[in-house]
């Protein structure tokens, strides 16, 4: 005698909605994350509760709280979604994966290997959309903590731990200037301070290191010119508006063409150490894959450079 299996009356979209509402503690934010409407999320949660015969969460005054049963079932819901990811991976059918990867990068990556990275992602996950945020590392870290970002490609220092973190590499910083403005190959601190110093924005580690370096010489009065846009610093230095401190990878082509020259100086800031960071405990498998792809693309770029 065969035993009849129970009919499944819920689906993966309902489980996905349940997990995201629980993680973000908001129906609205879960709807934004899943590219749907808030009524759709509410309907999915209601359908899941009806199928399971239990109340998973309560809503009051704009807040969401899981019930005791909801807390118990959340772990199982994650396992089902993880198992689905594993099934697709085992079948080697990444083309089946749809959705949106919310990716945060710093500007240095935009001007080096981002284009190659996005092409590689498209090749591996052809149906995946990428929502790109370009910002300071400190803001990317905040977005990662708030789960408005899935993956951040960012540089140290970090104030929050990430359960998923893969080292990308270190990027050297160099002094550069237009050869028409600074014909010398080497500059002393006095000669450097006589030029406008083009650097990153005030709330960045790069600016703080440069400011501290010159502050040690109270007899000097350098003109620091901070910018939120490193590409603007690069353009301004090409146009002869000052000496810039920039990642060598960003200005390699300008140095090769002669638009800029590297200036030797006794001191440079510490290299920028980059990492691919994500929530390894809650992120889908594709986020870890995307992090690994970023590391490989960055290594390929470094070798080609």
177 and 155 within one domain? no
By CB atoms closer than 10 A (0-12, 13-18, 19+), residue 91 is exposed
Q: Is residue 99 part of a domain?
A: yes
Q: Is residue 6 part of a domain?
A: no
For 49, what's the count of Cα atoms within 13 Å in the CB-facing half-sphere?
A: 16
Edge-first strand listing for the sheet containing 243-247:
224-227, 197-200, 243-247, 173-177, 261-263
* Residue 100 pLDDT: 87
Q: Is residue 121 part of a domain?
A: yes
Q: Which two tokens stand for residue 181?
A: 């403005």
Q: Is residue 5 part of a domain?
A: no
Q: Is residue 2 part of a domain?
A: no
Chain-centre distance of CA 94, in angstroms?
Answer: 22
* Residue 78 pLDDT: 86
Three-class DSSP category at 167: strand
Looking at residue 2, the DSSP 8-state letter turns out to be P
CA distances (Å), 268 to each of 138, 174, 175, 209, in order? 22, 7, 8, 9
Q: Is residue 106 part of a domain?
A: yes
Three-class DSSP category at 210: helix
User: Domain with 85 in it: what CATH number?
Assistant: 1.10.10.10
36 and 24 within one domain? yes
Could you tell me the residue range of the domain that residue 119 belongs to? 95-170+272-304
What is the residue-wise DSSP string for 5-74? PPPP---HHHHHHHHHHHHHT-HHHHHHHTTS-HHHHHHHHHHHHHHHTS--EEEETTEEEE-HHHHHHH
Q: Is residue 108 part of a domain?
A: yes
Among 60, 90, 120, where does a domain finish? 90
**C-alpha–C-alpha distance, residues 281 and 279, integer Å:** 6
157 and 289 within one domain? yes
Cα–Cα nearest to 290, from 162, 72, 113, 102: 102
192 and 162 within one domain? no
* Residue 296 pLDDT: 96
293 and 152 within one domain? yes
Name the residue with tokens 């104030």. Answer: 159
Tally of domains within the chain: 3
Q: How many helices (H) and strands (E) are present in the chain, helices listed first?
A: 12, 12
CA distances (Å), 183 to each of 38, 151, 186, 256, 263, in order? 61, 43, 9, 16, 9
208 and 230 within one domain? yes
Q: Is residue 218 part of a domain?
A: yes
**pLDDT in 10s for each residue of the chain, 305 residues:** 455 555 557 888 898 898 888 888 888 888 888 888 999 999 999 999 888 888 998 887 778 889 999 988 988 888 888 888 777 777 666 766 778 899 999 999 999 999 999 999 999 999 889 999 999 999 999 999 988 999 999 999 999 999 999 999 999 999 999 999 999 999 999 999 999 999 999 989 999 999 999 999 999 999 999 999 999 999 999 999 999 999 999 999 999 999 999 999 999 999 999 999 999 988 888 999 999 999 999 999 988 86
Q: Which two tokens stand for residue 240?
A: 């002869």
* Residue 288 pLDDT: 93
* Residue 144 pLDDT: 94
Rg (CA), the chain: 25
Residue pair 33/2 in contact (Cβ under 8 Å)? The answer is: no
Q: Which two tokens stand for residue 291?
A: 């992090």
* Residue 79 pLDDT: 86
């Amino acid at each position: 005698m065969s035993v009849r299996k129970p009919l499944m009356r819920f689906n993966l979209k309902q489980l996905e909605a349940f997990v995201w509402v629980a993680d973000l503690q908001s129906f609205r934010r879960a709807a934004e994350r899943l590219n749907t409407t808030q009524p759709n999320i509410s309907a999915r949660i209601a359908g899941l509760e009806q199928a399971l015969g239990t109340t998973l969460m309560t809503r009051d005054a704009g807040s969401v709280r899981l019930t005791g049963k909801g807390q118990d079932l959340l772990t199982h819901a994650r396992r089902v979604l993880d198992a689905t990811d594993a099934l697709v991976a085992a079948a080697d059918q990444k083309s089946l994966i749809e959705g949106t990867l919310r990716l945060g990068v710093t500007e240095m990556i935009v001007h080096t290997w981002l284009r190659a990275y996005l092409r590689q992602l498209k090749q591996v996950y052809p149906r995946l959309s990428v929502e790109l945020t370009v910002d300071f590392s400190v803001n990317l870290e905040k977005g990662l903590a708030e789960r408005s970002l899935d993956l951040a490609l960012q540089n140290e220092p970090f104030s929050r731990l990430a359960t998923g973190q893969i080292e990308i590499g270190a990027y050297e910083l160099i002094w550069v200037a237009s050869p028409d403005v600074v014909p010398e190959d080497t500059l002393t601190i006095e000669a450097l301070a006589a030029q406008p110093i083009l650097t990153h924005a005030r709330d960045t580690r790069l600016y703080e290191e440069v400011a501290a370096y010159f502050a040690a010489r109270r007899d000097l009065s350098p003109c620091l010119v901070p910018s939120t846009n490193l590409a603007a610093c690069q353009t301004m230095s090409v146009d002869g508006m000052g000496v810039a401190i920039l990642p060598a990878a960003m200005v390699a082509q300008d140095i090769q063409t002669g638009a800029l020259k590297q200036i030797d100086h006794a001191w440079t800031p510490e290299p920028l150490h980059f990492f691919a960071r994500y929530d390894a405990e809650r992120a889908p498998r594709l986020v870890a894959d995307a992090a690994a792809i970023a590391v490989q693309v960055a290594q390929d770029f470094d070798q080609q450079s």
